[in-house]
Structure 1
Amino acid sequence: MSDSAYTLIIGVDGGGTGCRAAIGTTRDGVLATAQGGRANASSDFELAIRNINATVSEAAAIAGLSEDRLSDASAHLGLAGVMTRRDGLRVSDALHFNKSIVTDDRTTALYGALGGKDGFLLSVGTGTIAAAKKGGVDKAVGGWGFQVSDQASGAWLGRKALEQVLLCHDGLAEHTNLTRALLSKFDSNPCKISSFSTNAKPGDFGALAPEIVAAARGGDQWARSIMQSGADHLLRCLEALEFQSGQPICMTGGVGPHYADYLPPMTLIGRQGCLGSALDGAFQLAKRAVVNTEEAAS
């Protein structure tokens, strides 16, 4: 049996709401998983590193592995907020694994969903991933961060809904049950919404998304309008990725599947279930790196 069969492997999926870690070996696969706090590398770098380390340590403890073994591990981390190679190196330098490959979360989400095969992915959670693999080549659009991008995401839904609340408060639009309910969360005080927005992270806005999705399902005018606007953006993303009706497409994330009701039926003819999650993708990419390294050395 080769040594790589016993190499400790770590996969991490990190975003604005939280992070997940999987730990195992090439031979045994995933031994344990754990969930932790936010791990967006650009929103709060130090917090992301603390949460990654804590979550990986928890996964190791669940697997019955000692903490000192982590320094021998090979890891692949797919993190929101990693925009450049320099960003990835900054993360890997802050960790203490033997080898760390750090990419943005689009890479791991795409690999997890499609298993390395061709197809399209709309992964919409706190952030938005619109990506495709065609002829073995990955391509993505958007994903430039919440401040200037991530349309249709849970964070975007939350912000758009609060914008609508303020328009309604100012008499520029009519209130609905959703806008009244959201305003009441802030003690019916628009100043508190403004104050919240100043320091809120994407995950804070994203925490409002379930209420918006539910209100849209119940027929709320503004909730449906916001969801339709998000769906229209996702459709433009697919067009930019040269998607054709009938091609394989996965919709995942906490919000992603809810957009199915707002997309043209022809878009969903080739819809299929995801083969795995972004965490699965991260773990499999870490495993592949170990195997490829061994094969190159032999």
Structure 2
Amino acid sequence: MSRPDTLLIAVDGGGTGCRVAVGTAKDGVLAETRGGSANISTNFDDTVDNITKAVSQAIAAAGLSDADLGTSTAHLGLAGADLETIQQRAQQALPYGTCRVSGDRQTTVAGVLGDADGYVVALGTGTIIARQHGGKVRTVGGWGFQLSDQASGAWLGRSLLTRVLMVDDGIVPTSPLARTVSDSLGGLQGVFAFSNRAVPRDYAEFAPDVFKSGAQGDAIAQEILREGAAFIEKGLSALGFIPGDVLSLAGGVGPHFEPYLSAEFTQSLRAPRGNALQGAFTLARQLAAQG
């Protein structure tokens, strides 16, 4: 068993940024901070640097000492950390006594559902669609921006720019949103130049515009949102969802999809119990208790 004053470190890392909580089993969370991008598969070195800096800031804010890092217990849920090889590499690179790195799916489900059964759709820069039953978690999709992450903030932004190009080519009719985005980027050449340098978090910056314009009846925005909602419903159905099952929409993007989901999926919506950072802290506490 660990000491009740053992330093606990929790990290929720995503493509846009990371959140850190530090505390102890006895006192709970003592301080939280935010840091830079933490998708471990897209930029390993920067992710490790961003996390360690944010953890040090949280430790200072809590009035604790970096000297405790060697005996600390940490759980980090990171975007892009779904393969065991990269989890092990990250664990070896981080300066924490007992360190476990997982994908952000585990920490998200732990935060949103606790130990209860149910379904989670957590959308931020990336995508998590999950089911928890009897303590076991199963997920679909969410394999990163290059291959997957439908309905995520990054996917919404890329889908919007794809349609802006289609408007320019005369393939689809234009809309107020398409015209605004095209003008803001400097037309066709500007959209193309943006795509050559953009990373997922850059595309995700367009997500609020898609939801706002969709609510105002913009045809292109509504088409994108319907497509995203259809994927969410297919993902939930693949996990065995039936009407009446508990569903929580989480993340910065997830709750905004509620108006676009069919009634059979929203009739038993439940607010998340917590977030992925709280889930990571719970898992760090459990890891420390294992001794």
Q: Is the 8 A contact 2:2 2:289 kept in 1?
A: no
In 2, Cα distance between the equivalents of 1:217 and 1:254? Answer: 17
For 2:149, the equivalent position in structure 1 comes to 150
For 2:44, the equivalent position in structure 1 comes to 45
For 1:31, the equivalent position in structure 2 comes to 30
Query: How far apart are residue 4 of structure 1 and its match?
Result: 1.9
For 1:282, the equivalent position in structure 2 comes to 280
Q: Does 1:105 align with 2:117?
A: no
In 1, Cα distance between the equivalents of 2:71 and 2:290? Answer: 17
TM-score (norm 1): 0.95
Q: Is the 8 A contact 1:43 1:201 kept in 2?
A: no
Q: Does 1:4 align with 2:39?
A: no
Query: How far apart are residue 292 of structure 1 and its match?
Result: 2.4
Q: What percentage of aligned pairs have identical amino acids?
A: 42
AA paired with 1:252?
A: A
Secondary structure of 2:234's match? helix
Q: How does 1:4-83 map to 2 (within 5 A)?
A: 4-83=3-82
For 1:163, the equivalent position in structure 2 comes to 162
In 1, Cα distance between the equivalents of 2:70 and 2:202? Answer: 33
Q: Spell out, residue by residue over 1:7-39, the C-alpha distance to the aligned partner (whole angstroms, 9 max, x if none).
A: 100100001110000000000000000011100
In 2, Cα distance between the equivalents of 1:159 and 1:115? Answer: 33
Secondary structure of 1:284's match? helix
For 1:296, the equivalent position in structure 2 comes to none
Query: How far apart are residue 84 of structure 1 and its match?
Result: 1.0
TM-score (norm 2): 0.98
Query: How far apart are residue 185 of structure 1 and its match?
Result: 1.8
Secondary structure of 2:63's match? coil
In 2, Cα distance between the equivalents of 1:99 and 1:256? Answer: 32
> Kindly tell me: are residues 105 and 3 of structure 1, through their superposed partners in 2, closer, same or farther at Cα, counting changes over 3 Å?
closer
Q: Does 1:252 align with 2:250?
A: yes
Match of 2:259 among 258, 261, 270: 261
In 2, Cα distance between the equivalents of 1:207 and 1:67? Answer: 35
Q: Is the 8 A contact 1:250 1:272 kept in 2?
A: yes
For 1:292, the equivalent position in structure 2 comes to 290
Q: Is the 8 A contact 2:175 2:219 kept in 1?
A: yes
In 1, Cα distance between the equivalents of 2:105 and 2:115? Answer: 13
- Once the two structures are overlaid, the 10-residue window that deviates more, 197-206 or 146-155, is 197-206
RMSD of aligned C-alpha atoms? 1.1
Query: How far apart are residue 228 of structure 1 and its match?
Result: 0.6
Q: Is the 8 A contact 2:123 2:153 kept in 1?
A: yes
For 1:211, the equivalent position in structure 2 comes to 209
In 2, Cα distance between the equivalents of 1:114 and 1:248? Answer: 10
